[in-house]
Structure 1
């Protein structure tokens, strides 16, 4: 891995997350995410790089870990994967400092999009690992029982959709679940939004994600293309994990596509005209139409002899079925 250096003073709060914990940061370019993590998550990413190359395309690029010390003035991700900061903390945009905890440095999946529409799908009916205390197990089991986690093996954990240069007001019946970011043009859906769905109506959440606007011809064309891409990627991820002996609790599939319809069309033209012999750096700078990645491996391990992770696979299969149903309808 090539050495990459960041200026710690310019790390800033990451604004494109659809779900997850506070304290996620991004570098000045927006290409990198720095997030609090467990040692288990770093171990999982390192094991994927070393022993599971078939998974690498479906995860964000792992760029190292963040250790906070007082002997360097920059944050640098070198080949060793160690990153240090000057004063043992990072200033967040809203003025609070992160505590000196372990962080992981990853590719920002939303980088390369002008207005990324993001959907976070948390996998599994069982959401706790063996280390979880009884009270945590009971709490998460209760959430699973009354949501699509229990019935389908996944639930919508968060969502961001671009609504145009000035996002409209949120209807009264959605105000409990959605905030309008008028400056950015987004609607931001909280974790409770996904919890209100059952197996019978969860496709409505996907429709709100895929069709955030007025279903113009351009939006319908985009929806067909994006759904076909998402379906192919989710099925590929499923196929790879069906061959693995792993256990992942509260991991997610992250779906992203370009939310600005005009930018989507422009990006298609740009990608068509890109030379196939472009080098890796040029490729990384190209705009994107859509992306699908697995994320959040704080509770992920390899378990040789225990077979595939049917808990997570159920959610992948349910997601693929919904995407296929929506694609079939979009093609009618």
Structure 2
């Protein structure tokens, strides 16, 4: 793999996250995500070398780096080469300074989309690992009990949908859950949006994601294709997990598709005319995307030989697959 060098003085806040913590950065090209992490998350990604069937469902691990406000250099390790800083200072999302030195460098799943629509589904009814303190357990148990985490094994943790240049007004009933990104043309749904749903109505959240605009014939065609792809990928991930002995508390499934309807149609034409067998790996990485599904967030992930599959996370995958199947069947009627 070719070594990459990043000028960390040019790192910028990552703008396509649907959920998660502050402090997520990206390079100028937008090809990688750089986020604060724990050593256990690095260890987990390194262990994927012996789990290639799972690794393909996760963002590509590029390595780790250290960013420090009192250092003149950021030291990168593993595959991705070196990252150099001028003054060692980088801004966190919302303007706060980084307070964690260790960062993980991952493939940016939204890279290759013009206007990525993003849905983050937090897996599990139990959201804490065995190392969590009693107060954290109680807090997360309360979140689970009052949301679809407890009933379905997942909840909507965040969402971004492209609404176009002429942004519609946010309905009164959604104003407390939606921020408007006027420059990008997005509605950005906060973490409380997903917590308002119960098992009986959470499908509405998926509908808001799959049909962010008018249900034109173009949008219906896109919805059928995207739902079929999402369903296939989620079932593939489920099948892999059923064969693993692991515990992955608070991991997420990220669903992404091209939000610009015209760009989606153009991308289909480009991909039809492309011949991957004639392209090298670098050229393939520049191709636009229609949709993507990946698992993310492994700060509390571990392999647990002898303890069987992770039914906590699997419950959420199965519930997600059922909802996607229901929506796909309806879209095909």
Both structures adopt the same fold (TM-score exceeding 0.5): yes
Q: Does 1:280 align with 2:281?
A: yes
Measure, in 2, the Cα distance between the counterparts of 1:59 and 1:200: 30
Measure, in 2, the Cα distance between the counterparts of 1:18 and 1:140: 20
Task: Tell me which stretches of 4 or more aligned residues in structure 1 moved more than 2 Å.
Answer: 68-89, 91-97
SS in 2 for 1:59: coil
Measure, in 1, the Cα distance between the counterparts of 2:317 and 2:93: 36
SS in 2 for 1:297: coil
SS in 2 for 1:199: coil
1:60–1:109 Cα contact (<8 Å) kept: yes
Partner of 1:320: 321
Partner of 2:290: 289
Measure, in 2, the Cα distance between the counterparts of 1:317 and 1:95: 38
SS in 1 for 2:56: helix
Change over 3 Å in CA distance of 1:83–1:129 after alignment to 2 = farther
The Cα shift of 1:97 comes to 2.4
Measure, in 2, the Cα distance between the counterparts of 1:86 and 1:47: 33
Partner of 1:135: 135
The within-5 A match list for 1:163-312 is 163-277=163-277, 278-312=279-313
Query: How many aligned positions are there?
Result: 331
Partner of 1:45: 45
Partner of 1:97: 97
SS in 1 for 2:257: strand
Task: Report the aligned-residue RMSD.
Answer: 1.7
1:71–1:86 Cα contact (<8 Å) kept: no
Change over 3 Å in CA distance of 1:94–1:21 after alignment to 2 = closer
Change over 3 Å in CA distance of 1:94–1:152 after alignment to 2 = closer
1:248–1:300 Cα contact (<8 Å) kept: yes
Q: Which moved more, 1:92-101 or 1:69-78?
A: 69-78
Unmatched tracts of structure 2, length 5 or more: none
SS in 1 for 2:247: strand
Cα offsets for 1:235-272 (capped at 9, x unmatched): 00000010000001100000000000000000000000
The Cα shift of 1:166 comes to 2.6
Give the TM-score taking structure 2 as reference length. Answer: 0.95
Measure, in 2, the Cα distance between the counterparts of 1:304 and 1:93: 38
Give the TM-score taking structure 1 as reference length. Answer: 0.96
